[in-house]
Amino acid sequence: MKGLKKQRRVQIIALATVALIGATALIGYALQDGINFFRAPSQIIAEPPRPDEIFRIGGLVETGTLVRGQGETIRFAVTDGGASIPVTYTGILPDLFAENQGMVGTGRYVDGVFQATEILAKHDETYMPAEVIDALKEQGVYQDPAKPQS
């Protein structure tokens, strides 16, 4: 009788382990498309990602690069002060999107151009995403909007 209880306990533990491994694998598979890594333009130039990799880019919209093309296609460049990446986007830009303002885009880097599928702009006059601030500070070009310039 004791042998049967011990065998049943081992079977339950083995089944629970297999279920836990299966659940972990399913969660990992489901999240693989939802995880987007952030990269600054300097990082993209240093280590270009694969063309099929979806990631986020952030920085300032470079002054003088915003060009509205035929239809809804917009071209501009994103910079962190150390490098500049050309960006194309088809769609409607956020209301606060402007040159020399912070932005974050999601998309792919193909043939030297970031093809954005989503563009996010700051939502008020002083906000900038933390990732963009960190990238700009790293390049030494960040200016805090709350502090007056001397």
100 and 48 assigned to the same domain: yes
CB 104 within 8 A of CB 129: yes
CB 76 within 8 A of CB 47: no
Q: 0.85 cut: is pTM over it?
A: no
31 and 46 assigned to the same domain: no
Look at the chain and report how many structural domains it folds into. 2
42 and 31 assigned to the same domain: no
Nearest C-alpha neighbor of 109 from the set 129, 91, 85, 132: 85
Phi, psi of 24 (to 5 degrees): -65, -40
CB 100 within 8 A of CB 82: no
19 and 92 assigned to the same domain: no
Nearest C-alpha neighbor of 131 from the set 38, 69, 47: 38
Q: Is residue 150 part of a domain?
A: no
Instruction: Give the CATH number of the domain where residue 123 resides.
Output: 2.40.50.140
Q: Render each residue's pLDDT in the chain as its tens digit; 150 residues.
A: 678 888 999 999 999 999 999 999 998 888 776 666 788 898 899 988 888 888 889 888 898 888 887 777 899 999 988 889 999 999 888 878 888 888 889 999 999 999 999 998 765 555 566 777 777 777 666 666 555 554
49 and 104 assigned to the same domain: yes
3 and 43 assigned to the same domain: no
Q: To which H or E segment does residue 5 belong?
A: helix 2-31
Q: For residue 56, give its domain range.
A: 37-139
